[in-house]
C-alpha cells in the first residue's frame, strides 16, 4: 500500500499537476501543500530602514514562483537572506526542513539551493566551457589533495563536460563555448549564468531577473527552459519585472512591497488584486503595447477612464499618436 | 669597453641563484595574485620567514638540514595562516594592507636588539650554510667556470624552480586551479556554486607563501648570511616587477620575468660603468649610475604596461587589468 503511494508521488507529472498549491485561502503568508522553503519572521534592516520584514512565507515545491514588487521592495535582499549571502536580524528560515540559520552561502548551495545574481556574475577571463565546468558538484579534482593527479578527476571531468555541452546547446551558447565569457553580450551572460547554476543540479533555482536584457525570441525559448526545469523536478523562484513572463510561466506569485509580503496567489488572481495594481502594476498593466490590438484596447480603456484625457477635448497630441498607431496597425 | 665581459656577466645573472630565488618568489606571487587574485604585498616577509626559519633552527637548535627546511616551511605556513585568517573574509585590499605591514613587522622583529642572540639583530646571521654544502655531491673542480659550491647551489636552486613550476602548472590545469581562477574573477559567484571560497583562498595563500619561503632559503644560502635589510619592501616590489614583466597568470612568466629583470639590471650597470670609465659620460658618477639602473627598470616596466600589458608570456584576453 505504502509502495503504491510512493510510486504515485514519483509518477506525478509536475507540468500538469493542478492540485491546489495553497492549503486554504490564498492570503499573504498562507500555508502550502508542500513547501520547500519556509521563512518565519525574517527581518533585515539597513540603518533603521526595514529592507525585509517577512512574517511568514512558504515557497511551494515543484512549482514556479514569481517574486514581484516595486523597486526597493526587498526582493533581492530576501534572495540574499535565503541563500546565506546576508544574515537576517531576526527570524527562522529553512530549506527542505533543515534550518539555514548561520549556514554559510556555499553550504546552502551544496544543499541544492542555487541562485543567480541581478548583476550578472560570469568569470570573464575563463572560457564559457570553464564557467560551466566550475558549476559542477562532486569534482574530486577540486580538492587540493587530488588536484595533482589527473587520473583521479579526469573521468568526472568528462562527465561534467558532457553535461555542460547539453546545457550549452539548450541555451544556444554551444558555438561560444571556447570563447572567453568576457566576450559575451549582456544577454548571453545572463544565459550563461543560468546554465551554470543548473550545472549544480539544484533542487531550487533562484533567478534574479533572468530576462533582463534578453532579446524577445530568446525570451520565448528561455521561458520553455524554465518550464522544463519543473518537469525535471526542480523548483524555481524568480524575480522579474516582465509581467508577460510572470503571467506565462508562474504557478504562484508573491508580491512584496516595502519589505513585506502584501499578496500571494496564482498569477491571474494576484494581478486583479487592487492593492497589487496600485502598488506595482499600474492600471493598464494587462495591455500589451507591442501589438496593434493592444493599442486599441488601451485606447478604449483610456476613453472609459474618467481620469484620462484621451477621448476628451484636452487629448491634443495624445489622440494623434493613438490614431497614427492605429493606422500603422491596419 | 669590454663587451665580452659585459655580456658574460649579464648571462651569468641569467642562472644565478638570486635569479632562481626571485623566480620562485615571483611564482608564489603568481599563485597569489595571478591565479587567485590575492593582493600580497608582503612576499619579502615570506622570504624572510623562510630564511630566518632555516638559519635560526640550524644555528640555535643545531637542526640537521632537512629538519631546518621543514621548520622553515612550517613557519611560512603559520605566517600565511596568521595573515589569512583575519583578512581573507574581507575584500582583497585588506590583505594587501596587512601583508605589507606584516612583512615590515617581521623585518623589525628580527632587527630588535633584545633578540640579538637569536636573530643577530641588524647584522643578521651567518655560517648556517654548512649543513647544505655538506651534501654537495660534486667533487671540487671547475664546472662551467664555477667552483663546486656555486655549481651545487645553482643546480639545487634551478632544480627547485623547475619542480615548483611543474607543480604549479599541474595544480592550475586541475579543477582546483579552475576554482581559484573563478575566485579571482568573482568570489560571490563561486560561492553561489557551492565552493568554500575561504578555504581555497587560504590554500592558495599557503602555497604561494611556501614558495616564498623556499625562495628565501635559495636567496640566503649562497650569500652565507641573512640580513634584515635584504628583506625590505623594495624586495617585494622587485618581485612584482618580475611578475608583471613575465605575465601574471602564467607559470613561466615569473621565471622569465626574473631573468629579464636581472639581465637588464646587469647590462645597464655594466654599460653605464663602461661609459663612465671610458669618459663618454661625464655627468654621472658610478654611484648615480647604480641608482639610474632602477629608474631604467621602472621605465621599462611602464613601457611594458603601455604596449604589452599582459607581460611577455601573458594572454591578452586573460588580462587582469581589463
> What DSSP string runs through A225-237?
HHHHHHHTT-EEE
Residue A224 has pLDDT above 70, yes or no: yes
Average pLDDT, chain A: 81
- CB nearest B181 (choices: A122, A126, A144): A126
Torsion sign (Cα): B60, B62, B65, B67: negative
Residue B82 has pLDDT above 90, yes or no: yes
Strand runs labelled E in chain B: 125-126, 225-226
Using the Cβ of B78 and the Cβ atoms of chain A, whether some distance falls under 8 Å is answered with: no
Residue A244: all three cell numbers together: 508577460
Residue A4 has pLDDT above 60, yes or no: no
Q: Are B88 and B113 in contact (CB under 8 A)?
A: no
In angstroms, the first-to-last Cα distance of chain B is 44
Using the Cβ of B175 and the Cβ atoms of chain A, whether some distance falls under 8 Å is answered with: yes
Residue A317 has pLDDT above 80, yes or no: no
CA distance B133 to chain A (A): 32
A interface with B, Cβ–Cβ < 8 A, is: 83, 85, 104-107, 109-110, 114-117, 121-126, 130-131, 133-135, 137, 139, 141-144, 147-148, 150, 153, 157, 180, 182-183, 193, 196-197, 199-200
Cβ-defined contact of B192 to A182 (cutoff 8 Å): no
Backbone angles phi, psi at A58, to 5 degrees: -120, 135
Residue B300 has pLDDT above 90, yes or no: no
Residue B163 has pLDDT above 60, yes or no: yes
Residue A125 has pLDDT above 50, yes or no: yes
| Position A211 confidence tier, pLDDT thresholds 50, 70, 90 | confident
| Position B322 confidence tier, pLDDT thresholds 50, 70, 90 | very low
Torsion sign (Cα): B174, B176, B180, B182: positive
Cβ-defined contact of B192 to A153 (cutoff 8 Å): no
Question: Of A247, A255, A205, A254, which is closest to residue A225 (Cα–Cα)?
Answer: A205
Residue B58 has pLDDT above 90, yes or no: yes
Could you tell me which residue, A216 or B153, shows the higher pLDDT? B153
Residue A289 has pLDDT above 70, yes or no: no
| Position A330 confidence tier, pLDDT thresholds 50, 70, 90 | very low
Q: What local confidence, expressed as pLDDT, does residue B132 receive?
A: 92
Using the Cβ of B318 and the Cβ atoms of chain A, whether some distance falls under 8 Å is answered with: yes
Could you tell me which residue, A310 or A183, shows the higher pLDDT? A183
Give the Cα separation of A118 and B303 in Å (integer).
Answer: 39
Q: What local confidence, expressed as pLDDT, does residue B318 receive?
A: 62
Q: Which chain A residue has the Cα nearest residue B177?
A: A142
Amino acid at each position: 500500500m505504502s509502495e503504491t503511494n510512493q510510486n504515485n508521488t514519483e509518477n506525478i507529472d509536475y507540468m500538469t499537476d493542478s492540485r491546489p498549491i495553497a492549503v486554504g485561502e490564498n492570503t499573504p503568508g498562507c500555508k502550502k501543500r508542500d513547501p520547500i522553503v519556509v521563512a518565519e519572521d525574517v527581518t533585515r534592516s539597513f540603518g533603521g530602514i526595514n529592507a525585509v520584514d517577512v512574517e511568514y512565507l512558504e515557497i511551494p515545491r515543484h512549482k514556479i514562483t514569481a517574486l514581484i514588487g516595486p523597486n526597493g521592495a526587498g526582493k533581492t535582499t530576501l534572495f540574499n537572506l535565503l541563500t546565506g549571502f546576508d544574515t537576517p536580524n531576526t527570524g527562522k528560515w529553512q530549506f527542505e526542513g533543515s534550518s539555514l540559520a548561520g549556514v554559510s552561502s556555499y553550504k546552502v548551495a551544496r544543499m541544492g539551493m542555487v541562485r543567480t545574481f541581478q548583476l550578472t556574475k560570469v568569470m570573464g577571463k575563463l572560457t564559457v566551457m570553464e564557467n560551466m565546468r566550475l558549476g559542477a558538484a562532486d569534482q574530486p579534482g577540486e580538492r587540493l589533495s587530488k588536484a595533482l593527479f589527473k587520473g583521479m578527476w579526469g573521468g568526472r571531468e568528462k562527465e561534467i563536460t558532457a553535461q555542460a555541452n547539453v546545457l550549452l546547446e539548450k541555451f544556444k551558447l554551444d558555438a561560444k563555448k571556447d570563447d572567453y565569457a568576457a566576450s559575451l553580450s549582456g544577454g548571453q551572460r545572463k544565459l550563461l549564468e543560468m546554465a551554470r547554476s543548473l550545472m549544480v543540479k539544484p533542487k531550487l533555482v533562484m533567478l534574479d531577473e533572468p530576462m533582463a536584457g534578453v532579446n524577445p525570441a530568446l525570451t520565448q525559448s528561455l521561458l520553455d527552459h524554465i518550464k522544463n526545469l519543473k518537469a525535471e523536478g526542480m523548483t524555481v523562484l524568480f524575480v522579474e519585472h516582465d509581467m508577460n513572463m510572470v503571467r506565462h510561466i508562474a504557478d504562484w506569485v508573491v508580491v512584496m512591497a516595502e519589505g513585506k509580503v502584501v499578496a500571494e496567489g496564482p498569477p491571474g488572481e494576484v494581478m486583479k488584486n487592487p492593492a497589487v495594481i496600485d502598488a506595482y502594476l499600474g492600471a493598464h498593466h494587462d495591455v500589451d503595447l507591442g501589438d496593434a490590438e493592444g493599442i486599441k484596447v488601451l485606447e478604449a480603456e483610456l476613453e472609459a477612464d474618467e481620469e484620462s484625457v484621451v477621448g476628451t477635448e484636452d487629448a491634443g497630441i495624445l489622440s494623434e499618436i493613438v490614431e497614427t498607431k492605429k493606422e500603422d496597425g491596419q | 669597453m669590454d663587451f665580452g665581459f659585459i655580456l658574460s656577466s649579464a648571462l651569468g645573472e641569467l642562472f644565478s641563484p638570486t635569479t632562481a630565488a626571485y623566480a620562485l618568489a615571483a611564482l608564489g606571487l603568481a599563485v597569489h595574485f595571478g591565479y587567485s587574485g590575492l593582493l600580497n604585498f608582503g612576499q619579502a616577509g615570506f622570504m624572510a620567514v623562510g630564511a630566518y626559519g632555516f638559519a635560526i633552527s640550524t644555528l640555535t637548535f643545531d637542526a640537521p638540514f632537512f629538519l631546518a627546511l621543514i621548520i622553515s616551511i612550517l613557519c611560512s605556513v603559520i605566517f600565511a595562516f596568521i595573515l589569512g585568517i583575519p583578512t581573507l573574509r574581507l575584500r582583497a585590499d585588506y590583505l594587501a594592507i596587512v601583508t605589507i605591514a606584516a612583512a615590515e613587522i617581521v623585518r623589525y622583529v628580527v632587527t630588535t636588539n633584545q633578540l640579538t642572540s637569536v636573530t643577530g639583530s641588524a647584522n643578521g646571521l651567518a655560517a648556517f650554510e654548512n649543513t647544505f654544502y655538506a651534501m654537495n655531491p660534486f667533487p671540487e673542480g671547475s664546472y662551467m667556470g664555477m667552483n663546486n659550491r656555486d655549481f651545487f647551489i645553482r643546480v639545487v636552486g634551478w632544480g627547485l624552480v623547475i619542480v615548483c613550476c611543474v607543480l604549479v602548472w599541474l595544480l592550475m590545469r586541475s579543477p582546483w586551479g579552475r576554482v581559484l581562477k573563478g575566485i579571482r574573477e568573482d568570489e560571490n559567484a563561486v560561492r553561489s556554486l557551492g565552493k568554500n571560497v575561504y578555504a581555497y583562498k587560504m590554500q592558495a595563500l599557503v602555497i604561494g607563501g611556501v614558495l616564498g619561503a623556499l625562495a628565501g632559503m635559495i636567496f640566503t644560502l649562497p650569500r652565507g648570511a641573512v640580513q634584515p635589510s635584504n628583506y625590505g619592501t623594495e624586495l617585494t616590489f622587485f618581485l612584482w616587477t618580475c611578475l608583471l614583466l613575465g605575465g601574471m597568470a602564467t607559470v613561466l612568466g615569473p621565471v622569465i620575468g626574473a631573468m629579464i629583470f636581472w639581465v637588464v639590471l646587469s647590462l645597464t650597470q655594466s654599460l653605464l660603468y663602461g661609459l663612465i670609465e671610458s669618459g663618454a659620460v661625464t655627468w654621472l658618477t658610478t654611484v648615480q649610475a647604480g641608482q639610474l639602473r632602477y629608474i631604467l627598470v621602472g621605465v621599462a616596466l611602464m613601457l611594458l604596461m603601455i604596449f604589452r600589458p599582459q607581460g611577455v608570456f601573458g594572454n591578452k584576453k586573460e588580462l587582469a587589468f581589463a
